[in-house]
Structure 1
Amino acid sequence: MLKSKMKWNFTYNDIVDTEVFLEELGISPLTRKLLWQRNITEPEMAKRFLFPSLDHLHDPFLMEGMIEATERIRLAIERKENILVFGDYDADGVSATSVMVEALREAGAACDFYIPNRFTEGYGPNEAAFRNAKDKGFDVIITVDTGIAAVHEADVAKELGIDLIITDHHEVQDQLPDAYTIIHPKASASYPFQELAGVGVAFKFAQALLGRLPQELLDLVVIGTIADLVPLQDENRVLASFGLQAISQSKRPGIQALKKMCGIEGDLTEETIGFMIGPRINAVGRLQDASPAVEMLLTEDYEQAEDLAKLIDQLNKERQKIVSDIADEAEKMLEGDESGDNASVIVVAKIGWNPGVLGIVASKLVGRFDRPAIVLGIDEETGEAKGSARSIDAFDLFVNCMKVRPLFKHFGGHAQAAGMTLKVDNIDELRHELNRLADEQLTPNDFTQSVDVENTIDIAELSLQQIEEIAKLSPFGMGNPKPLFHIDHAPKEIRQIGSKQNHLKFQFHKSGTQLDGIAFGMGDLYSDISPYSNVEAIGELGINEWNGRKKLQIMIKDLRIAEWQLFDYRGSKYIEKKLSGSNLNDHVALSFDGVSQAPLNLNVLDKHSIMYSEEGQVSGLVLLDLPSKLEELGEIIEAVQPRKIYACYRIDDSTFFNKLPTREDFKWFYGMLMKHKSLDMKYGASKLASYKGWDKDTLEFISQVFFELDFVKIENGLISLHPSPSKKDLNDSDTYQLKQRRLQVEKKLYYSNYQELKSWFDQYMEQLDLAVKEEVTHGL
């Protein structure tokens, strides 16, 4: 058995009649089932999902405040007033700032942009920046991807005579700012879709202002929409779909330079945005002022764009190093913490940690410890701690942090991610209160990462066409996750790959279909997977294309083995090496011959000790030698029920190839004695054995059996018949029985093939379903 690292929720339901459901769309039953699991149950819904159109975008004027905002900007253009776009320093904020600036300039406005410095100003609008804007002659400020919590700053703007237009998408807090107007989907009951990214809200503003759909901005819109992890549904799906097409064909110098720097060729996907473009743009604001990222996206100069792209790439490399160092420090702090204060929610802080990267560090801690995590950098001069938080599915960060809102100087975010500033003196109380809230709300099961599995697939039914059809459900992301599929099959081949052997590659075959499986970062499991075990794996289906050849592939996210496993190391001289990579926790070695030492210093037990051991569960049993009879080992297996059995025994003096003499052999020998009256083993044994084709051991064995049965007498090597033998069976001889049992033991446990040996053990193993039970969470 091998346990999965995550909890698998099987969301499919085989009751769904895919032969009828959405049949008119002309797509496969599997794809129809995937649509059903996304609550897409009507033909019109399915068509809108599979074939998104820009016509599906909603009227921007349905959003409250849009009329007032656009009228104010048109007035500013007419009056030649200066407009400042106030953005945020992440990829969403940078792309939203770029969209807003470009739209304003297209409309004829005199405008500039400003993004606060994360380190000197913190998150969101601030009074000093507004006063500076007034001094520079700005009459209107438009926030993008920020501002919904800027209550004080809105009052400052009003005092300064600046008209503040807030466009944002973050969670609405208890009090709304007293701004000129607010454009926010979640603060607009009349707007049909509330999950736009900050750049999506800016795009809607641009559409309303320009009086047309500005498709030229879609290459910018897709960056923030995907990077900010908003649900890719409704308008976001449309913006992401057309945005990916636009950015793939974009002539914008900044986009082209960034693609070149990332080594991206061909069309961009949600993965290239999420893992290559987004992180690089984010890196700028994490380490310094984010303005270069906006300048790169807006510039029309190719040389300037390339210089800025190089700067951004270098900053990203620096960011990666800083994240790695801080994450290592944080993990060591937690591993050495025996207080239990971080048992349910992690809150760690240290002087000098860079606040710009702490969100990434928090994500790493969540992944490592399966708990919500808040990571704070302490500023000794101000006595304040600033940082970020990430959470698990079961714990709503925004709701719970709002319950302790007085502890924060600044706070904002979502259910799964947040940013905050607080006094250093409040850190301990924050840790205590959040752990208390988590203990009240969560169960131990909530701390296990869960994943939704959309279907169990038969490898034989897979094809390139099927996987290409599934790709029509893209772009994948929040709200439309890339489907995870479940396979249950014994691999034909398993091997470690990578320069550090830290990945696994599987090869599955069934009915002529080959499926390759790649499991990144799971190389350490290699020694814990028996080559013949049935492996259950969940992963994303795809196509691997190399040198023009396409192969079916599954990128494995997690795996498990539900059955007990047999590791066949019989006869090996390198047992220590064989076992060295295995997880031997709760394993013991078993010896029938009194062996006192075992490989890797495993605890050695004899038959009695292991049957009545009080050490607890024995997960694995390492067999060092063979029992004298099969029943001995059978009793132990039946009692212990190990999840793993390692057959590590060798035979140096085999009985198996010295066959058990037949009853005819015994009759012949007895008849020979009757004829010759006796046999002198010293002088006649070799000649007799040669005549019969026996070895000396066979002759001695027959003689010993007859002696034990009182058929013969043996005196000084002379064998003669007993004058009055009693009638006995060969099985009455201990020597005969011992030889018989030894042959059975060697035949079953040593000279059998793998499947025969596994079947023998199976009869003593309880046939329990060791897999995590499937939990149907969606469907009929």
Structure 2
Amino acid sequence: MIESMKRWRTQESDAGVAEKLRQALGLSPIAAKVLASRGFTDPEKASAFIGIGQESWHDPFLMKDMDRAVELIHKHIRSGSRIAVYGDYDADGVTSTTVLMKALLSLGADAFYVIPDRFKHGYGPNTDLFRETYERGASLIVTVDNGISGNVQVAAAKEMGMDVIVTDHHEPGEVLPVADAIIHPRHPEGNYPFGELAGVGVVLKVAHALTGEFPADSLIFGAIGTVADLVPLHDENRLIVKAGIGKLRQTSNPAVRALCGVSDVRQQDINEETIGFAFGPRINALGRLGDAEPAVRMFLTDDAAEASLLAAQLNDRNKERQKMVASIADEAIAQIEDTYGDAVPHVLTVAGEGWNPGVVGIVSSRITEKYYRPSIVLALDQEKGIAKGSARSIEGFHMYRELKKNADLVPHFGGHPMAAGLTMPIEHVGNLRENLIRQGEEALTEEDLIPTLDVDVQLTLDEVDIASIESLAELGPYGVGFAKPVYCLPDLSVESSRKIGSMKNHLKLSVSDGANTLDVVGFGLGHLEDELTPDARISLAGDLQINEWNGRKKPQLLLTDLKSDGWQLFDVRGERLLSRWLPSIPDEAVFVAFRKESVRKFRADTGKEIVQAADVDPARSRTLVLLDLPDSLDELEALLGSCAPTRIYAHFHVPESRYFMGIPDRKQFGWYYTFLKQQGSFHVMREGERLAKHKGWSRDTVIFMTKVFFELGFVTMENGLAAVTGNPPKRDLSESETYSGLERRINIEETLLYSPYQELRRVIGSILDAPETAREEQQLWI
């Protein structure tokens, strides 16, 4: 058995609905199944979702205060007064700033932008920075991607004499700022049709209202900000990203081309994953480590050389960010392991001095992914006496609510069920850690602590081909709210498996259903190769892709997880060097020996605890390593029948094999007995070697036959001298314990040690799969 790393939750889709969608929309069977699994039952709604177009844009003036904001901005443009765009330091804030600046500049406005520094000003409106903005001559401040919670700061700006327009998409509080206009898709007094716009989506609506035309050229920034901010890809968000990606692939914008250069991305291949994993992290890196202003400058410039220099700066900062994250993550993991060992608590809280608070959110995500526990990572500032950090959670643990229970310890926090940010006094960190562990134990079950994998569609191999995989692009873009599908391919055989990569930490498989094959790649899953046996039947879950190499295209599954429900047999027979197979044995394995002398030998050789077969604890024996041969199949049956293991490693070491020696036949016994009668007596120890050479036997064969005759009463033995007895009884050779013992030994070696893998599996399977008939089947084989 191979247990999956995650709990698979398979979505059951209606085959009839999928077929109806396929026929009505001309989709591939796989694409139709995906839509059906996502709840689409009406072909018209599915068609509108796939082919979403310009008709889906909502009138920007449906947003509350939009008319007031447009009028106020135009008033300041006409009067020639300065307008400040006050942005944010993440990708959504940077692109929001860019879109509004382009719109204002196109209208001839005297506009400039301001990006707060994460470490100096913090998130959102800052009174000191507002004052600096005022001193630069601003008469109007327009916030983008922030401001809805800046009640105090907005009031201060008003007192300075500035007009203020807030555009934001974050959750509004009970009391709104006293701004001249608040543009928010979920304004408490508004009724805009779509409330999930990113900050840049809100600004696109403002730009549309300001200029009277939809800012199509700014869709490239809209797509970047929307994907990077992880908002649901429905309605206008889906349209922004879908149309924006199309433009990103064709634009001559120097910033986009420069980002492609530093990200090693072909512009025509840009998709939502490019934005999420290549562009977004590089833009965010500036704000995480310091000043994000260069990112806005890069997007606004028309100079290709300047854009390239700025993109290189983003890239360098991202590399610096990656090293910083890796270093802090290593320290955090070491802290967890040193503190808890294997007994990892339900909630993890780690803290360290010198950690950059701009990257602790990424570290928290890594901790949660590694341990599948809610986690909080705090950067300690001893000089100020504060701990500042980020939290990430898992299903079943509402992070915001659980932090709220500790409001006396954490005076400043915000977030939602799956993530939060917080600032607290250092002296309260220990109490918070203890409280959250207790709260986690109350809220989370053991099952909750196993990560989940939502499987959308179960497929057969004959459904997987190039055309079907290419057709899945029609369903994109994928993201939050419409995640990339996960496919399950059940009950396949493994044709080949190997570890790949310079560190051999990746997995390459070829799987088959008997008629069709598929290549499978699992990055970081090389360890699973040690768990696969030649006869394994496995089920796979992952993402279907097209692998293109030297102009050839092949379907491929990018593996997320795999499992196998049957028991497994690992063949390590004949591997005399323990170093070749011992490292692959799981830690929970029980090492079993049938003979006492084997217990001593392997304890010394391996340093492991060796259990004699009769003493094995069935409750702790899911994985067995069978070190030596039993004397009989009865012994093996007794062990396996009581334990019902899911994994068996068969070593079956014998100090000296008897199989190739064979058993002398009756003709040999007859000749030797006649020889003894003619001699009357024969000194076996002194003359046996010469006789063996004469007959082409081994000396051991002569000794063996002599011992059999002795046990049957055919000869007497005294000091190595064999003498034939008078009138010996009529007895069969099998009545000799020596004869029958060797016969059993040869049979057991033939059955367990020298049999082909599949035959050994049948023998063991007869015990594990059908214990009530095991003996009868075993007797047939031996």
How high is the TM-score relative to the length of structure 1?
A: 0.90
Residue in 1 aligned with 2:476? 474
Paired with 1:305 and 1:722, the residues of 2 have a C-alpha distance of 110
Between stretches 388-397 and 321-330, larger displacement belongs to 388-397
Q: Secondary structure at the match of 1:19?
A: helix
Paired with 2:332 and 2:501, the residues of 1 have a C-alpha distance of 28
Residue in 2 aligned with 1:36? 36
> Is it true that 1:723 corresponds to 2:727 in the alignment?
yes
Using a 3 Å threshold, how does the CA distance of structure 1 residues 659 and 440 change in structure 2: closer, same or farther? closer
Q: Secondary structure at the match of 2:400?
A: helix
Residue in 1 aligned with 2:777? none
> Is it true that 1:603 corresponds to 2:609 in the alignment?
yes
> Is it true that 1:108 corresponds to 2:111 in the alignment?
no
Cα deviations by residue, 1:609-668 (Å, 9 ceiling, x for unpaired): 33xx59x613432222212212112211222333332222344643333444566776x6
Query: In 2, are the aligned partners of 1:389 and 1:419 still within 8 Å (CA)?
Result: yes
Residue in 2 aligned with 1:418? 420
Identity %: 40
Structure 2 matches for 1:213-224, cutoff 5 A?
A: 213-224=214-225
Query: In 2, are the aligned partners of 1:452 and 1:484 still within 8 Å (CA)?
Result: yes
**Counterpart code for 1:765:** L
Cα deviations by residue, 1:149-199 (Å, 9 ceiling, x for unpaired): 112122223323323222212223333323222222233552222221111
> Is it true that 1:545 corresponds to 2:548 in the alignment?
yes
**Counterpart code for 1:239:** I
Q: Secondary structure at the match of 2:74?
A: helix
Paired with 1:252 and 1:181, the residues of 2 have a C-alpha distance of 32
Paired with 1:180 and 1:717, the residues of 2 have a C-alpha distance of 120
Structure 2 matches for 1:200-599, cutoff 5 A?
A: 200-265=201-266, 266-338=268-340, 343-404=345-406, 408=410, 410-487=412-489, 488-511=491-514, 513-592=516-595, 594-595=597-598, 596-598=600-602, 599=605
Structure 2 matches for 1:7-26, cutoff 5 A?
A: 7-13=7-13, 18-26=18-26
Paired with 1:580 and 1:111, the residues of 2 have a C-alpha distance of 65
**Counterpart code for 2:566:** E
Using a 3 Å threshold, how does the CA distance of structure 1 residues 298 and 722 change in structure 2: closer, same or farther? farther
**Counterpart code for 1:309:** A
Paired with 1:704 and 1:755, the residues of 2 have a C-alpha distance of 37
Residue in 1 aligned with 2:131? 131
Paired with 1:63 and 1:692, the residues of 2 have a C-alpha distance of 107
Q: Secondary structure at the match of 1:35?
A: helix
Paired with 2:357 and 2:734, the residues of 1 have a C-alpha distance of 82
Query: In 1, are the aligned partners of 2:29 and 2:468 still within 8 Å (CA)?
Result: no
Q: Secondary structure at the match of 1:141?
A: strand
Between stretches 696-705 and 122-131, larger displacement belongs to 696-705
Paired with 1:256 and 1:529, the residues of 2 have a C-alpha distance of 45
Using the TM superposition, give the Cα deviation of residue 729 of structure 1 relative to its aligned residue in structure 2, in angstroms. 4.6
Higher relative contact order by CA 8 Å / sep ≥ 6: 1 or 2? 1
**Counterpart code for 1:745:** I
Structure 2, unpaired ranges of 5+: 772-782
Using a 3 Å threshold, how does the CA distance of structure 1 residues 406 and 696 change in structure 2: closer, same or farther? closer
Cα deviations by residue, 1:445-466 (Å, 9 ceiling, x for unpaired): 2222211012233234421112
Query: In 2, are the aligned partners of 1:730 and 1:736 still within 8 Å (CA)?
Result: yes
Paired with 1:462 and 1:403, the residues of 2 have a C-alpha distance of 50
Query: In 1, are the aligned partners of 2:21 and 2:27 still within 8 Å (CA)?
Result: no
Residue in 2 aligned with 1:140? 140
Instruction: Give the root-mean-square deviation of aligned CA atoms.
Output: 3.1
> Is it true that 1:635 corresponds to 2:638 in the alignment?
yes
Using the TM superposition, give the Cα deviation of residue 704 of structure 1 relative to its aligned residue in structure 2, in angstroms. 4.4
**Counterpart code for 1:38:** R
Using a 3 Å threshold, how does the CA distance of structure 1 residues 202 and 671 change in structure 2: closer, same or farther? same
Residue in 1 aligned with 2:181? 181
Cα deviations by residue, 1:736-755 (Å, 9 ceiling, x for unpaired): 32122112201110111111
**Counterpart code for 2:159:** E
Query: In 1, are the aligned partners of 2:715 and 2:722 still within 8 Å (CA)?
Result: no
Residue in 2 aligned with 1:771? none
Residue in 2 aligned with 1:620? 623
Paired with 1:340 and 1:653, the residues of 2 have a C-alpha distance of 42
Using the TM superposition, give the Cα deviation of residue 141 of structure 1 relative to its aligned residue in structure 2, in angstroms. 1.6
Paired with 2:654 and 2:246, the residues of 1 have a C-alpha distance of 67
Using a 3 Å threshold, how does the CA distance of structure 1 residues 651 and 660 change in structure 2: closer, same or farther? same
Query: In 1, are the aligned partners of 2:677 and 2:724 still within 8 Å (CA)?
Result: no
Using the TM superposition, give the Cα deviation of residue 365 of structure 1 relative to its aligned residue in structure 2, in angstroms. 1.3
Residue in 2 aligned with 1:60? 60
Paired with 2:338 and 2:322, the residues of 1 have a C-alpha distance of 24
Using the TM superposition, give the Cα deviation of residue 476 of structure 1 relative to its aligned residue in structure 2, in angstroms. 1.6
Paired with 2:586 and 2:342, the residues of 1 have a C-alpha distance of 27
Query: In 2, are the aligned partners of 1:453 and 1:538 still within 8 Å (CA)?
Result: yes
Paired with 1:121 and 1:143, the residues of 2 have a C-alpha distance of 15
Residue in 2 aligned with 1:773? none
**Counterpart code for 1:251:** S
Residue in 2 aligned with 1:79? 79
Query: In 2, are the aligned partners of 1:589 and 1:602 still within 8 Å (CA)?
Result: no
Using a 3 Å threshold, how does the CA distance of structure 1 residues 746 and 152 change in structure 2: closer, same or farther? same
Using the TM superposition, give the Cα deviation of residue 360 of structure 1 relative to its aligned residue in structure 2, in angstroms. 0.9
How high is the TM-score relative to the length of structure 2?
A: 0.90
Using a 3 Å threshold, how does the CA distance of structure 1 residues 308 and 17 change in structure 2: closer, same or farther? closer
Query: In 1, are the aligned partners of 2:30 and 2:463 still within 8 Å (CA)?
Result: no
Using the TM superposition, give the Cα deviation of residue 273 of structure 1 relative to its aligned residue in structure 2, in angstroms. 1.0
**Counterpart code for 1:580:** P
Q: Secondary structure at the match of 1:3?
A: coil
**Counterpart code for 2:79:** R
Query: In 2, are the aligned partners of 1:92 and 1:223 still within 8 Å (CA)?
Result: yes
Cα deviations by residue, 1:350-391 (Å, 9 ceiling, x for unpaired): 332211111111111111221222222233343333222222
Q: Secondary structure at the match of 2:417?
A: coil
Cα deviations by residue, 1:316-363 (Å, 9 ceiling, x for unpaired): 111111111111222222222259999333333333221111111111
Paired with 1:130 and 1:515, the residues of 2 have a C-alpha distance of 60
Cα deviations by residue, 1:204-262 (Å, 9 ceiling, x for unpaired): 22122222221100111111111111122222111111111111212111111111111
Paired with 2:573 and 2:14, the residues of 1 have a C-alpha distance of 43
Cα deviations by residue, 1:715-765 (Å, 9 ceiling, x for unpaired): 875564752625x55443322321221122011101111111122112222
Structure 1, unpaired ranges of 5+: 769-780
Using the TM superposition, give the Cα deviation of residue 542 of structure 1 relative to its aligned residue in structure 2, in angstroms. 0.4
Paired with 2:440 and 2:81, the residues of 1 have a C-alpha distance of 51
Query: In 2, are the aligned partners of 1:293 and 1:312 still within 8 Å (CA)?
Result: yes
Using a 3 Å threshold, how does the CA distance of structure 1 residues 178 and 396 change in structure 2: closer, same or farther? farther
Match of 1:748 among 751, 766, 772: 751
Using a 3 Å threshold, how does the CA distance of structure 1 residues 403 and 685 change in structure 2: closer, same or farther? closer
Query: In 2, are the aligned partners of 1:374 and 1:390 still within 8 Å (CA)?
Result: yes
Using the TM superposition, give the Cα deviation of residue 703 of structure 1 relative to its aligned residue in structure 2, in angstroms. 5.4
Using the TM superposition, give the Cα deviation of residue 603 of structure 1 relative to its aligned residue in structure 2, in angstroms. 1.2
Using a 3 Å threshold, how does the CA distance of structure 1 residues 14 and 752 change in structure 2: closer, same or farther? farther
Query: In 2, are the aligned partners of 1:571 and 1:651 still within 8 Å (CA)?
Result: no
Using the TM superposition, give the Cα deviation of residue 513 of structure 1 relative to its aligned residue in structure 2, in angstroms. 3.3
Query: In 1, are the aligned partners of 2:15 and 2:33 still within 8 Å (CA)?
Result: no
**Counterpart code for 1:725:** P
Paired with 2:765 and 2:528, the residues of 1 have a C-alpha distance of 24
Query: In 2, are the aligned partners of 1:462 and 1:513 still within 8 Å (CA)?
Result: no
Using the TM superposition, give the Cα deviation of residue 580 of structure 1 relative to its aligned residue in structure 2, in angstroms. 1.9
